[in-house]
Every structure is written in structure tokens, then in C-alpha cells.
Amino acid sequence: MRELAEVEAELNTRWPETKIDPSTERIGALVKLLGDPQRAYPVLQIAGTNGKTSTARMIDALLRSLGVRTGRLTSPHL
């Protein structure tokens, strides 16, 4: 079992909980550690102020007409 000083030293080397870093470095390291699960299937994200649901419906219909299997999630409260 580790000594208390070793545990404290290890904890002190970790990212401070109060530090905010707007970069994607930490989440990138996490998904790499997990084997990049986000690359397991293609995803299309639609963002913006207006027209997201209509755009998602049109793209969904177009892809389905081409025989592409799709899944669409829209949320009216977002």
C-alpha cells in the first residue's frame, strides 16, 4: 500500500479541479484512451440558430431515399 505522501504527490500532479481549459486536449486524450469510440460510425451534427429540425428532416429523407440507414434525434426544447 502506498504511503500517504505518495498518494498526495500523485493527486497533486493531476489536473486542478478549479482550472478551466477551453481546449479539447483532455477530452481528446480520454477518447484516445477509450479507443476513439466516436469513429465507430458516421455522425452528422447540425448546429445553428434556425432551421435545424427542417434541415435534419430533409437530410434524413434524402439519405433514406438513397438506401442509407439513418437515425435522427431532434429536441424541441434545445
Considering its fold, how many domains does the chain have in total? 1
Task: Say if 9 falls within a structural domain.
Answer: yes
Chain segment 33-49, per-residue pLDDT in tens: 999 998 998 899 999 88
Chain segment 12-35, per-residue pLDDT in tens: 888 677 777 678 888 899 999 999
Instruction: Give me the half-sphere count of Cα atoms (radius 13 Å) on the Cβ side of residue 18.
Output: 1
pTM: 0.54
pLDDT of residue 1: 54
Chain segment 44-67, per-residue pLDDT in tens: 999 988 999 999 999 999 999 999
Task: Say if 66 falls within a structural domain.
Answer: no
Task: Say if 74 falls within a structural domain.
Answer: no
Task: Say if 58 falls within a structural domain.
Answer: no
Range of the domain at 10: 4-39
